[in-house]
Amino acid sequence: MSKSSPTKKSPKRSLRRAFGPFFDGITALFLIASMAVLSITLLIINNPSIQLNPFPPTPLPTIFQSIKPSITPTPTITTTFTPSPLPPTHTPTNTTTPLPTLTPSLTLSPTPVLPNLPTQPSERTIETPASDVFFDPNARYPFNARAVRYQPNTRDEGCQWLSIAGNIIGRNQEPITDLAVEVKGTDFEFVTFSGTASAFGPSGFEIQVGTQPFEDTYFVRLLGPDGLPLSEEVEILTGTTCETNVVFIEFTQIGDF
């Protein structure tokens, strides 16, 4: 009776059994690596600047945009002067034409001529004696101002009035008319002519500066036909009561003109 020979194992099958798990692991690693590469590729396509990109794009230069400055215009300040209203019933005797403002060649220092003010606790009392009138053909100016005096306004305006008045007397005590009288103050300038206010004499003049008594400073001087000064500027302080609301000043001739 014959014995069957033992079955021999195939060498390929033995290798497959021995290395089967190894090849399966390698296959799994390649599969995982393929998925990782695919994911990274998708991330790089979606955002080329990602740090995983081995070849990041060249950064674009920063574009500087110049901001145009806005120009704010400087506002112009316009100062509007509102003079004291004149009474509607006041009508000058003659129509006067203001002279143009001229710049003298010499700068003159105003000579204050202050009167004896009424004795009141709120007012100053300054005494200035009137100087004698003398004729000097070489005088700097042909007219000199005497000390001013104060008086009340006797017209219908009464105490609702404030003015500077006066007259001009010649070398032989004759009245001189048609000479320009300039009055300047704070935001105030007016020119009238002698002989336009007969209430103060044939050469009288008057310029209203307010509608009630109040203390303020004005400068008065005479001007010739050429606009040059014929007297120094006289500083005048207006009165503060109804008895002193008209300031009277007299110019006298002391030289040729």
- Bridge partners, 138 (sequence order): none
User: Among 1.10.10.10, 2.102.10.10, 2.60.40.1120, 2.40.50.100, what is the CATH number of 111-253?
Assistant: 2.60.40.1120
Distances (CA, A) of 133 to 29, 142, 175, 179: 132, 12, 15, 20
Higher pLDDT among residues 14 and 80, named by residue: 14
State the pLDDT at residue 109. 38
State the pLDDT at residue 39. 83
State the pLDDT at residue 172. 92
For 124, list phi and psi in degrees, rounded to 5. Answer: -90, 150
Structure token pair of residue 196: 């336009």
Nearest to 244 by CA among 88, 65, 118: 118
State the pLDDT at residue 181. 97
Mean pLDDT over each residue of the chain, to the nearest integer: 76
Whether the pLDDT of residue 11 is over 80: the answer is no
Nearest to 222 by CA among 198, 205, 200, 208: 205
Longest dimension (CA), the chain: 193
pLDDT tens digits, one per residue of 88-145: 555 445 544 455 444 444 333 343 343 333 333 333 333 333 445 566 767 889 999 9
Which positions ≥6 away from 247 have C-beta within 8 Å? 115, 148, 149, 150, 163, 164, 165, 236, 237, 238, 239
pLDDT tens digits, one per residue of 233-251: 999 999 999 999 999 999 9
Which class for 171: exposed (0-12), middle (13-18), buried (19 or more C-beta within 10 A)? middle
Contact yes or no for 160/87 (Cβ under 8 A): yes
Top-ranked range on mean pLDDT: pick from 10-24, 52-66, 167-181: 167-181
Whether the pLDDT of residue 154 is over 90: the answer is yes
Per DSSP (E only), the strands in the chain are 111-112, 143-145, 149-151, 162-169, 180-185, 188-193, 205-210, 217-223, 234-237, 246-253
pLDDT tens digits, one per residue of 210-224: 999 999 999 999 999
Domain boundaries, the chain: 23-55, 111-253
Backbone region of residue 15 per phi and psi (left: phi > 0; alpha: psi in -120 to 50; beta: other values) = alpha
Structure token pair of residue 210: 């307010």
Higher pLDDT among residues 109 and 173, named by residue: 173
Contact yes or no for 193/92 (Cβ under 8 A): no
